[in-house]
Amino acid sequence: MGRPLFYEIVEKPATSCIIGICSAIWFYIQKRNIGYSHVGLSYENAMEGHHWRIITSAFSHISAIHLVFNMSALWSLGVVEQLGHIGLGVAYYLHHTLVLAVLSGALVLGMYHLLIQRFKIEYFRRVTAVGYSCVVFGWMTILAVKQPSSKLDLFGFLSLPISFAPFESLIFTSIIVPQASFLGHLSGIVVGYAIAWGLIHGMNNYWAISMLGWIVVVFVVSLKRSGAYDFKFLEIESVTDPSLPSVRFLGSGRTLQMSSLPVEGVEIV
């Protein structure tokens, strides 16, 4: 017999929390009858300012099979949390999960932009991506580089050598599940290699918290600007110097004016 589930949960706290979050979101989506178009990421939506979809698309699943497949793979990849002796561990897992979720989503949009603007393939303008697969493929890739002797266990009975798992899974899912996002999975692999080879490095608690803070700010502001959710306590308005954004918190009478240079393509007005 294997070890009791409780002990495995204790040894994989971050993985267990993410699985719990994704499962809770799936349950909420099913209960509220929410569709792909409401939470998914597409080029068209991103160009309309729905940047919050980079996050919601990663943690949302529409079908139970999609959820089970991704969470089963993620549970196996949670072994990363137990590999502190080779420079991985819980902190590394949390830091780079954040990087994978954001950069893989941004890379997908970049690929869509290239295909639409350079090659005039309009099909990708409205393709909607949803699911945690990009992060799963990223961790497959990182583990394949850092610990090539590991195995990827799926559903408790299927075991794949981790060194081949990223591209095996990429081809397998593309054949078996035609609607699977090839570019989404590929972006996770690309970002995974960038992390594993040290091209993306230097993540620590300070940078992770800073990155999380900016993600929250962009998430809230893009929700407000796109009209997806009305934060009644928050009013976004222009100031005398249009290059400096300001955010007013209603009721307090206070206005916060940011002194940093604005991010191109994201304007608070």
Residue 247 lies in a domain: no
**Residue 220 CA: distances (Å) to CA of 10, 14, 132, 133, 216:** 32, 24, 21, 24, 6
pLDDT value at residue 85: 93
pLDDT value at residue 151: 82
Residue 156 lies in a domain: yes
3-state secondary structure of 144: helix
pTM of the entire predicted model: 0.84
Active-site amino acid positions: 133, 185
Q: How far apart are alpha carbons 261 and 241 in whole angstroms?
A: 12
Residue 43 lies in a domain: yes
With vertex at residue 148, the alpha carbon angle to CA 184 and CA 189, rounded to the nearest 5 degrees, is 10
Domain limits for position 210: 5-226
Q: How confident is the model at residue 4 (pLDDT cuts 50, 70, 90)?
A: confident
131 Cβ partners below 8 Å, 6+ apart? 57, 58, 60, 61, 66, 70, 181, 184
Half-sphere exposure of 141 (CA within 13 A, CB side): 26
pLDDT value at residue 36: 85
Residue 172 lies in a domain: yes
Q: What is the pLDDT averaged over residues 70-78? A: 93
Residue 232 lies in a domain: no
Residue of higher predicted confidence among 267 and 218:
218
**Residue 196 CA: distances (Å) to CA of 15, 64, 141, 174, 205:** 19, 31, 8, 24, 19
Residue of higher predicted confidence among 233 and 182:
182
Residue 171 lies in a domain: yes
- What's phi and psi for 106, nearest 5 deg? -65, -35
Q: How far apart are alpha carbons 223 and 259 in whole angstroms?
A: 22
The β-bridge partners of 34 are: none
Residue of higher predicted confidence among 247 and 87:
87
Residue 134 lies in a domain: yes
Query: Is pLDDT of 198 > 70?
Result: yes
Residue 70 lies in a domain: yes
Query: Is pLDDT of 64 > 60?
Result: yes
Residue of higher predicted confidence among 233 and 194:
194
Model confidence over 120-176: pLDDT tens digits?
999 999 899 999 999 999 999 999 999 998 888 776 667 778 888 899 889 988 888
Q: How confident is the model at residue 75 (pLDDT cuts 50, 70, 90)?
A: very high
Query: Is pLDDT of 67 > 80?
Result: yes
pLDDT value at residue 237: 61
pLDDT value at residue 159: 77
Q: How confident is the model at residue 62 (pLDDT cuts 50, 70, 90)?
A: confident
Please tell me the total count of domains within the chain.
Answer: 1
CATH number at residue 62: 1.20.1540.10
pLDDT value at residue 241: 53
Model confidence over 227-269: pLDDT tens digits?
888 777 667 665 445 554 554 544 444 444 433 333 333 222 2
pLDDT value at residue 178: 80
